[in-house]
Amino acid sequence: MNPAVGYLTHLADQEGVTPIHNHEPSFWLRARLVDLHSRWNTGRMLTCRHVLTQPGGVFITALWLPEVMVCTSCAVDALRLPAAADLTCDRCSAPDPKTRAVAVDEQGVIVTFGLCPDCYRREMPA
């Protein structure tokens, strides 16, 4: 199991977290993932030092801050958000108190983002 999947499995054991297996990314999500890859490949991403010194570690990036990739310890501070931004959908930019946090494994890196109920249904058809 790759470390990112291991971490997601650990998250999925937490209360209120729903694991979704074999999720197929929407066109919107695919485009965001491609954007993350091209940022990384062209050196347009800031990282904590652990990303460089701990190959094989679990690293996290967020669609609300795609220029930053950090390890799970640094993510607590680096990716923390003011409460209002936390409830803004990363897909349609609508503020919604029911915005849900979503995390996916993208080739060993955890990509996290928020989806309002409408966008969540688009991304995760029941």
Q: Sheet harboring 65-71: ordered strands across?
A: 46-47, 65-71, 59-62, 109-115, 100-106
Token duo for residue 94? 């609508």
Which residues between 41 and 100 bind Zn ion (CB under 5 A)?
Answer: 48, 50, 71, 74, 89, 91-92
Pairing of strands 65-71, 59-62: antiparallel
Q: How far is the CB of 35 from Zn ion (least distance, A)?
A: 18
Number of residues in contact with Zn ion under rule CB under 5 A: 9
User: Is residue 111 part of the contact set for Zn ion (CB under 5 A)?
Assistant: no
Element at 34 (helix H, strand E)? helix 27-41
User: Is residue 116 part of the contact set for Zn ion (CB under 5 A)?
Assistant: yes
Q: How far is the CB of 110 from Zn ion (least distance, A)?
A: 13
Q: How far is the CB of 62 from Zn ion (least distance, A)?
A: 14
SS3 68: strand
Binding site for Zn ion (CB under 5 A): 48, 50, 71, 74, 89, 91-92, 116, 119
